[in-house]
């Protein structure tokens, strides 16, 4: 599997302030990779190093096999980038802005450019300064997408977009993936990552704390299982199963959290005459909050 | 019989809690009020302007006292200065009691002090509401429990307080200098005269800013900045050359410098009535600004500009983007300079005719400029136009460099460098765009003086080539600004450029009066521009300009290549 992005012990410090610390990351060709973390965790720093907007303090970053410091122009030629915060030229219209960035790339497919504006429902005749936050974001998205880049690096891409446009955005992401392109999507909106990404990494205080498939990450968190019995509940039996915690009996109902494989609980439940069996899969948000909650608890103890 | 007890409705009310109110200290100088925040934001500017100008005042006073330390020398100096025709006296006004320390300082220094401090007022008051509105931060403030009127008043009040602090510092420096260095009869003056002089400094510094503040709610920040600058420099130039240029004499009454020219308390001349008129004008202008801000929607003003037909210029690449982004401002600055040059050029014959009637003045001019035909349109323009246009070109260059730097500061550059554009390529091309904007400005200025010279029957081309040296000068100091912006950080590029322009101007202006060593005065680039309108080119100076411009651009590119972006 070809790696489009590859970092090794990548570190960036801002004097005494932390940026990112010893980040080892691989993003494979053709995948939509989520990069999750709260504000200030180091997501934008990571992206800016990849694009050579800032230089690493130590370690290395390679994009398309090219060292980010060695030939950043070659990297950016094949990349589409949407910054988390950006500003463009107030006096230019949306169309002129898009054209300017197309010109910087030596020209783009005009039909695709027009289609993007139509699909994102952007009136390109208005001046940039007159746009709402969402419309400015649409201009940024078109600038990033219009040249059909091999790699899309998107920092908080749906910020300010309404739900309908977010849906269009998701479709665009899947289409890009279908064409074999790679997407690196940085966000603190977990639902967004969960909807479109195959794999994701969680960054905390500049360090990567988890990398896995979205499904794998979900498995890290506990399933909520609820069993309803016609008679007395066998609490002790379930408490003895490995991975089961927080067992609470209320009347004929037994609730518990199951971490890891759920099969032992299913087998134990099958031995009883059950009225109902409910298992709820954890969301990525719960994984994320568990990760941060766990660390916070440790920090306090 | 008592009725049923009625319960006090509590629905929707929050329980009483102990609020931590902002302290008095926070309200005045911190984050407790809009006024305090404004004052806090201005503290660095207060420090820089206050200290720099105070040092300038002390140095000037000490040097005058040392260089002219007898009554006879003072009288000779006063006689020489008074004998110069107005055009040679520059923009300083009539010399009144300049044989005293206070009189000389009020003439030589205080004439342009309100211009320098006035630039600060114009920049601040044109943007204090309009600029914050454009940035989007005003919405957050206006959404608070505060009326629009109070918001505007607090904003203005913070600038008035900041300006007041600076002027008080200058008054202290002036009075201290007079006490310390005033060693001849008539030198010692009371603090009342010093304070009265500084009341004028305060009012004259505030007036153009008040005009900018009044028009900003309608025209927006950029246009208001231009209007304020026109009022500031227009009033200064009109008053300075009203005795030499008939057209200026006609409108002298509109110049606030002209209106208050008789108020020189440090020279023993008082005219509180004119200060009162100026004060009323300032209050009205500020009031208009407050009322307009209160009544209008909180939207970024369009400036009443008509939408131009779409032209796909300025989107081809970094050079054209940087250039066309600055073209409207370049044309505006250029037209201003062109008008100034046109008025001076068309007035030249009258000036020359009057000068020719005074044999002793002619004799003096011949001794001062032996190899130059000063009694010509070119000679007049060299004296009256070139010397003052330098400072305007410096300000324009600083504005262009500031715009260039804002690409990085406002995070546009991050988007541009997301495209396959190298840092060096962007720096070189966008820097050249800044130089092209300066060239455009000069082109318009050239047109104005060429037309004026042609009307007078002189070679417009020769004059225009001379005026073009201003372009080389502008590119030189812009080059330094670009280099600093590229090597260090973008936010200091424009301040360095404007500081350099003002520094060169002041060094040349005060250097000879203060008898500063040649080695120091020669550091001013203005001393190396020759008298190009008269055909006297300083080749070394032009080479220095070229080196500063090209070297600065190269250093900007090297700096951009080496450092982290987005600082």
Tell me the pLDDT tens digit for each residue of A122-134.
Answer: 999 998 888 999 9
Residue-wise pLDDT for A165-222, tens only, equals 999 999 999 999 999 999 999 988 877 888 899 999 999 889 998 898 988 777 666 7
> B431 with B556: CB under 8 angstroms?
yes
Residue-wise pLDDT for B255-271, tens only, equals 999 999 889 999 888 99
Bridge partners of A3, per DSSP, are A28
Instruction: Say how far apart CA B217 and CA B298 lie, in whole Å.
Output: 9
- What is residue B305's predicted lDDT score, i.e. its pLDDT? 47
Hey, of B414, B425, B567, which one would you mutate to test binding to chain A, going by the most A CBs within 10 A of its CB?
Answer: B414
Q: A104, B310: Cβ pair inside 8 Å?
A: no
Mean pLDDT of B421-441: 96
Asked if residue B446 has pLDDT above 80, the reply is yes
* CB-defined contacts A:B, below 8 A: 82
Distance (Å) from the C-alpha of residue A96 to the closest C-alpha of chain B? 7
Q: A83, B420: Cβ pair inside 8 Å?
A: no
Residue of A nearest to B322 (CA): A89
Residue-wise pLDDT for B461-505, tens only, equals 888 899 999 999 999 999 999 999 999 999 899 999 989 998 898
Contacts of A96 in chain B (CB under 8 A): 310, 312, 314-315
> B479 with B548: CB under 8 angstroms?
yes
Helices (H), ranges, B410-538: 413-416, 423-455, 460-487, 493-511, 518-521
Q: Which of A55, A88, A92 lies closest to B415 in CB terms?
A: A88
Could you tell me the two tokens for B515? 């008898």
- What is residue B209's predicted lDDT score, i.e. its pLDDT? 96
Could you tell me the two tokens for B489? 């950080």
Distance (Å) from the C-alpha of residue B227 to the closest C-alpha of chain A? 20
A6 to each of A33, A64, A197, A253, how far by Cα in Å? Answer: 13, 8, 18, 49
Asked if residue B306 has pLDDT above 50, the reply is no
| Contact residues, B window 269-328, toward A, CB-based 8 Å cutoff | 300, 310, 312, 314-318, 321, 325
Side-by-side strand order, sheet with A58-63: A17-28, A3-14, A58-63, A66-67
> A221 with A287: CB under 8 angstroms?
yes
Residue-wise pLDDT for A87-97, tens only, equals 888 878 899 88
Q: A54, B410: Cβ pair inside 8 Å?
A: no
Q: Give percent of chain A above pLDDT 90.
A: 52
B43 contact A CB<8A: no
Phi, psi for residue A111 in degrees, rounded to 5: -65, -45
Phi, psi for residue A254 in degrees, rounded to 5: -120, 125
Contacts of B418 in chain A (CB under 8 A): 51, 76, 79-83, 143-144
Asked if residue B11 has pLDDT above 60, the reply is no
Total residue count of chain B as it appears in this document = 567
What torsion do the CA atoms of A102, A108, A114, A116 make, to the nearest 10 degrees? Answer: -80
B/e letters for A201-224, b = 16+ CB within 10 Å, e = fewer, are bbbbebbbbbbeebeebbbbbbbb
What lies within 8 Å, CB to CB, of B379 at 6+ separation is B369, B372, B373, B533, B534
Residue of B nearest to A81 (CA): B418
Distance (Å) from the C-alpha of residue B53 to the closest C-alpha of chain A? 35
Q: A103, B310: Cβ pair inside 8 Å?
A: no
Q: Are strands A79-82 and A151-155 parallel, antiparallel or unpaired?
A: parallel
Total residue count of chain A as it appears in this document = 301
More confident site: B133 or A295: B133
Q: Which of A77, A86, A99 lies closest to B415 in CB terms?
A: A86
Q: B417, A76: Cβ pair inside 8 Å?
A: yes
- What is residue B445's predicted lDDT score, i.e. its pLDDT? 92
Q: B417, A55: Cβ pair inside 8 Å?
A: no
- What is residue B553's predicted lDDT score, i.e. its pLDDT? 97
Segment holding A69, helix H or strand E: none
Can you tell me which residue has the tokens 């136009």?
B385
Q: Which of B134, B300, B317 lies closest to A104 in CB terms?
A: B317
Contacts of A81 in chain B (CB under 8 A): 415, 418
3-state secondary structure of A59: strand
Contacts of A101 in chain B (CB under 8 A): 415-416, 419
Q: A89, B310: Cβ pair inside 8 Å?
A: no
Q: Band the pLDDT of B359: cuts 50, 70, 90.
A: low
Instruction: Say how far apart CA B555 and CA B493 lie, in whole Å.
Output: 13
Residue of B nearest to A149 (CA): B419
Contacts of A104 in chain B (CB under 8 A): 317-318, 416, 419-421
Residue-wise pLDDT for B85-100, tens only, equals 665 555 566 778 888 8
Q: Band the pLDDT of B184: cuts 50, 70, 90.
A: confident
Q: Which of B310, B412, B417 lies closest to A87 in CB terms?
A: B412
B422 contact A CB<8A: yes
Mean pLDDT of chain B: 84
Asked if residue A301 has pLDDT above 60, the reply is no
- What is residue A138's predicted lDDT score, i.e. its pLDDT? 96
Q: A87, B314: Cβ pair inside 8 Å?
A: no
Hey, of A55, A87, A88, which one would you mutate to test binding to chain B, going by the most B CBs within 10 A of its CB?
Answer: A87
Mean pLDDT of chain A: 88
Instruction: Say how far apart CA A23 and CA A46 lie, in whole Å.
Output: 9
Residue-wise pLDDT for B112-159, tens only, equals 889 889 989 998 998 888 777 766 667 767 766 778 888 899 999 999
pTM of the model: 0.75
- What is residue B232's predicted lDDT score, i.e. its pLDDT? 92
Mean pLDDT of B156-164: 95
* C-beta neighbour count of B363 within 10 angstroms: 10
B136 contact A CB<8A: no
Distance (Å) from the C-alpha of residue A83 to the closest C-alpha of chain B? 7
Asked if residue A75 has pLDDT above 70, the reply is yes
- What is residue A300's predicted lDDT score, i.e. its pLDDT? 35
Q: Which of B300, B414, B422 lies closest to A83 in CB terms?
A: B414
Asked if residue B322 has pLDDT above 90, the reply is yes
Asked if residue B197 has pLDDT above 90, the reply is yes
Residue-wise pLDDT for A37-57, tens only, equals 888 889 999 999 999 889 899
More confident site: B97 or A10: A10
Q: A72, B422: Cβ pair inside 8 Å?
A: yes
Q: A88, B310: Cβ pair inside 8 Å?
A: no
Q: Give percent of chain B above pLDDT 90.
A: 39
Q: Whose CA is closest to A142, among A162, A130, A165?
A: A165
Q: Give percent of chain B above pLDDT 70.
A: 84
Task: State the angle between helix axes of B460-487 and B423-455 in degrees (0 to 180), rounded to the nearest 10.
Answer: 160
- What is residue B185's predicted lDDT score, i.e. its pLDDT? 82
Distance (Å) from the C-alpha of residue B132 to the closest C-alpha of chain A? 14
- What is residue A17's predicted lDDT score, i.e. its pLDDT? 81
What secondary structure does DSSP assign to B2-67, as a single string?
A: --PPPPPP-TTPPPP----PPPHHHHHHSSSSHHHHHHHHTHHHHHHHHHHHHHHHHHHHHHHHHH
Instruction: Say how far apart CA B31 and CA B18 lie, in whole Å.
Output: 20
Q: A81, B415: Cβ pair inside 8 Å?
A: yes
- What is residue B313's predicted lDDT score, i.e. its pLDDT? 67
- What is residue B308's predicted lDDT score, i.e. its pLDDT? 45
Instruction: Say how far apart CA A254 and CA B552 lie, in whole Å.
Output: 76
Contacts of B422 in chain A (CB under 8 A): 72-73
DSSP 8-class letter at B531: B
Hey, of A89, A90, A101, which one would you mutate to test binding to chain B, going by the most B CBs within 10 A of its CB?
Answer: A89
Which residues of A fall below an 8 Å CB-CB distance to B? 48, 51, 53-55, 72-74, 76-77, 79-83, 85-89, 91-93, 96-97, 99-101, 103-105, 129, 140, 143-144
Residue-wise pLDDT for B201-226, tens only, equals 999 999 999 999 999 888 887 788 88
Asked if residue A104 has pLDDT above 80, the reply is yes
B139 contact A CB<8A: no
Q: What's the N-to-C CA distance of chain A in angstroms?
A: 42
Q: Band the pLDDT of B80: cuts 50, 70, 90.
A: confident
* C-beta neighbour count of B517 within 10 angstroms: 8
Residue of B nearest to A125 (CA): B310
Asked if residue B299 has pLDDT above 70, the reply is no
B176 contact A CB<8A: no
């Amino acid at each position: 599997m070809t790696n489009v992005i590859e970092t090794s012990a990548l570190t960036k410090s801002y004097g005494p302030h932390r940026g990112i610390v010893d980040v080892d990351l691989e993003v494979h060709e053709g995948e939509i990779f989520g990069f999750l973390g709260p504000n200030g965790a180091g997501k934008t720093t990571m992206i800016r190093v990849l694009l050579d907007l800032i230089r690493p303090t130590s370690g290395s970053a390679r994009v398309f096999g090219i060292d980010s410091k060695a030939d950043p122009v070659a990297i950016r030629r094949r990349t589409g980038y949407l910054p988390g915060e950006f500003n463009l030229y107030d006096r230019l219209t949306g169309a002129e802005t898009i054209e300017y960035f197309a010109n910087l790339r030596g020209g783009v497919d005009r039909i695709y450019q027009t289609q993007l504006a139509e699909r994102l429902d952007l009136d390109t005749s208005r001046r940039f300064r007159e746009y709402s936050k969402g419309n400015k974001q649409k201009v940024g998205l078109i600038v990033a997408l219009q040249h059909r880049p091999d790699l899309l690096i998107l920092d908080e891409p749906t910020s300010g977009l309404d739900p309908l446009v977010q849906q269009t955005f998701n479709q665009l992401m899947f289409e890009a993936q279908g064409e074999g392109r790679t997407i690196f999507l940085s966000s603190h909106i977990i639902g967004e990552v969960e909807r479109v990404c195959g794999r994701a990494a969680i960054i905390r205080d500049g360090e990567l704390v988890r990398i896995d498939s979205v499904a794998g990450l979900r498995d890290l968190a506990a399933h909520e299982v609820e069993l309803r019995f016609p008679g007395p509940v066998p609490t002790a039996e379930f408490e003895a199963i490995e991975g089961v915690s927080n067992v609470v009996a209320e009347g004929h109902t037994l609730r518990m959290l199951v971490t890891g494989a759920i099969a032992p609980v299913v087998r134990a439940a099958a031995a009883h005459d059950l009225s109902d069996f409910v298992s709820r899969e954890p969301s990525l948000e719960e994984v994320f909050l568990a990760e941060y909650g766990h660390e916070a608890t440790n920090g306090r103890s | 019989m008592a009725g049923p007890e009625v319960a006090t409705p509590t629905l929707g009310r929050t329980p009483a809690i102990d609020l931590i109110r902002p302290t008095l200290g926070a309200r005045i100088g911190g984050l407790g009020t809009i006024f305090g925040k404004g004052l806090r934001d201005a503290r660095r500017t207060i420090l820089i302007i206050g200290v720099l100008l105070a040092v300038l005042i002390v140095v000037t006073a000490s040097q005058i006292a040392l260089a002219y330390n007898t009554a006879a020398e003072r009288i000779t100096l006063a006689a020489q200065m008074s004998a110069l025709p107005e055009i040679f006296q520059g923009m300083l006004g009539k010399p009144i009691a300049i044989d005293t320390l206070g009189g000389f300082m009020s003439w030589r220094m205080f004439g342009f002090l309100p211009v320098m401090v006035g630039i600060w007022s114009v920049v601040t008051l044109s943007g204090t509401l309009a600029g914050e509105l454009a940035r989007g931060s005003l919405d957050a403030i206006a959404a608070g429990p505060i009326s629009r009127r109070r918001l505007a008043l607090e904003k203005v009040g913070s600038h008035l307080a900041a300006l007041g602090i600076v002027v008080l510092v200058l008054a202290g420096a002036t009075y201290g200098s007079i006490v310390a260095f005033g060693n001849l009869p008539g030198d010692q003056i009371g603090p009342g005269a010093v304070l009265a002089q500084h009341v004028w400094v305060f009012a004259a510094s505030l007036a153009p800013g008040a005009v900018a503040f009044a028009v900003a709610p309608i025209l927006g920040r950029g246009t208001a900045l231009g209007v304020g600058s026109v009022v500031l420099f227009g009033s200064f130039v009109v008053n300075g050359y009203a005795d030499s240029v008939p057209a200026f004499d006609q409108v002298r009454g509109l110049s606030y410098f002209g209106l208050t020219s008789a108020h020189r308390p440090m020279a023993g001349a008082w005219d509180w009535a004119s200060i009162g008129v100026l004060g009323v004008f300032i209050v009205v202008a500020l009031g208009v600004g407050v009322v307009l801000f209160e009544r209008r929607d909180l939207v970024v003003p369009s400036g009443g500009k008509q939408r131009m037909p779409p032209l796909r210029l300025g989107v081809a690449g970094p050079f054209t983007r940087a250039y066309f982004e600055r073209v409207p401002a370049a044309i505006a600055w250029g037209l201003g300079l062109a008008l100034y040059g046109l008025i001076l050029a068309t007035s030249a014959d009258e000036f020359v005719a009057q000068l020719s009637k005074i044999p002793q003045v002619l004799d003096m001019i011949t001794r001062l400029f032996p190899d130059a035909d000063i009694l010509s349109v070119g000679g007049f323009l060299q004296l009256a136009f070139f010397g003052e246009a330098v400072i305007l070109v410096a300000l324009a260059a600083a504005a262009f460099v500031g715009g260039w730097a804002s690409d990085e500061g406002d995070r546009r550059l991050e988007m541009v460098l997301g495209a396959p554009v190298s840092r060096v390529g962007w720096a070189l091309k966008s820097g050249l765009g800044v130089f092209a904007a300066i060239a455009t400005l000069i082109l318009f200025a050239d047109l104005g003086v060429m037309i004026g010279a042609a009307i007078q029957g002189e070679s417009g081309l020769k004059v225009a080539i001379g005026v073009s040296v201003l372009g080389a000068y502008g590119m030189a100091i812009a080059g330094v600004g670009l280099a600093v912006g590229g090597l260090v950080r973008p936010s200091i590029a424009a301040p360095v450029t404007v500081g350099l322009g003002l520094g060169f101007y002041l060094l040349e202006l005060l250097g000879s009066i203060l008898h500063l060593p040649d080695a120091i005065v020669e550091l001013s680039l203005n001393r190396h521009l020759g008298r190009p309108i008269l055909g006297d080119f300083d080749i070394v100076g032009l080479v220095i300009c070229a080196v500063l411009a090209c070297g600065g651009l190269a250093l900007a590119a090297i700096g951009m290549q080496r450092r982290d972006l987005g600082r």
